[in-house]
Homo-oligomer: A and B are copies of this chain.
Amino acid sequence: MATKSNGKQTVKLQNPPSIVSTASIVGPKEGQGPLRLYFDNIIDDEMWGEKSWERAESKLMRETFAKILDKAGKTSGDINYIIAGDLLNQCIAATFGLRESGIPFFGVYGACSTMAESASLGAMLIDGGFADNVVCMTSSHFCSAEKQFRFPLELGSQRTSTAQWTVTGSGGVLLSNQGTGPYITYVTTGKIIDFGIKDANNMGAAMAPAAADTILTHFKDTGIAPQSYDLIVTGDLGYVGKSICEELLKENGYDIKDRYNDCGVMIFDREKQDAHAGGSGCGCSAATLAGFIYQELQKGCLNNVLFVATGALLSTTSSQQGESIPCIAHAITIQRSL
């Protein structure tokens, strides 16, 4: 039996699902950045009235989920599946944040590639006829991530110039077999790529080869030229990783410079916000997709977007044991109209 992938890494959806609503809620720093007008809600402080950063992150998920449904005029009963995950150990932001939803739940772990991974699976479940409506979402939180992955915030440790700033935010999409676009038309699922980089403070460099591999594969599988996209956007290589990714693609014959950006670059102001190499975290690409990208597609300022979320699949244990950083990137094509 021939499959929709035709033996390739890319699947072309036969009945492309629409993104019928999105929502994003971000932290105060993100709310001062260049994309601030695109977010649904900007919280005043990182605790958001909760007793811990982890609970605050779960609340980001819960409230973003509610907003996605609300904006689409849907209730829980309309949703067949939630596909979600996050960076916290055992993905507790997602599971605790969404435990009251009463909706069949698939937990995913793709580090900061989660937004594209969940949307890829959601799009295939709808295209395959298994669901009418799927919510795909993720989150990250600067304080819960720093606490878990790096140093206690109270120490005020100096950050390296290659370090990225974990976005406090949640973003997600409601995919549906009803709707008038924007549509998810292609899904390119990434392989784990490990080029041997061990510096956990330079994740952009670690992730760039995975992003380049998935983008290259997408072009080769589909025959689509980079010029067909008005935006190719990786999700969260930051400044260091973005330039490596661009270079790797150029070496392979694809010059995407004039239409390429990165969510980690877009979300903070380099001059004014002191985020070093840019933003990171699952919430970075998720909130940028749910905010800026989706709204620009709706307005018609963007027509064809390749959204490539990237993840660094390390843990503190793997780093402490001297391991390198396996990375992954998943891509979806989002078209304004078919």
Contact = CB atoms under 8 A, between A and B. Distances in A.
Interface of A: 1, 3-5, 7, 9, 11, 15, 51-52, 54-55, 80-81, 85, 87-92, 95-96, 98-99, 101-111, 117, 120-121, 124-125, 127-132, 148, 177-178, 189-192, 194, 313-318, 321, 323, 326, 328
A292 to B, nearest CB: 26
B89 A315 contact: yes
A192 B321 contact: no
B108 A317 contact: no
A178 to B, nearest CB: 8
Given A90-B313, A317-B89, A132 B96 contact: no
Contact of A105 (B80, B95, B178, B328): B328
Contacts of A178: 1
A127 to B, nearest CB: 7
A317 B52 CA distance: 10
A90 B111 contact: yes
A119 to B, nearest CB: 12
A191 B103 contact: yes
A131 B11 CA distance: 9
Contacts of A328: 95, 105, 107
Contacts of A110: 106-107
Contacts of A7: 80, 132
24 contacts: A4-B129, A5-B131, A7-B80, A7-B132, A54-B321, A55-B321, A89-B317, A90-B111, A90-B313, A90-B314, A91-B109, A96-B313, A96-B326, A99-B194, A101-B192, A106-B121, A106-B189, A108-B108, A108-B109, A121-B121, A124-B124, A127-B128, A127-B130, A148-B317
B192 A95 contact: yes
Given A9-B104, A106-B110, A107-B117, 18 more contacts: A7-B80, A54-B318, A81-B189, A88-B315, A89-B317, A90-B109, A90-B111, A90-B318, A91-B109, A95-B313, A96-B326, A99-B192, A101-B192, A104-B191, A108-B109, A124-B128, A124-B130, A128-B129
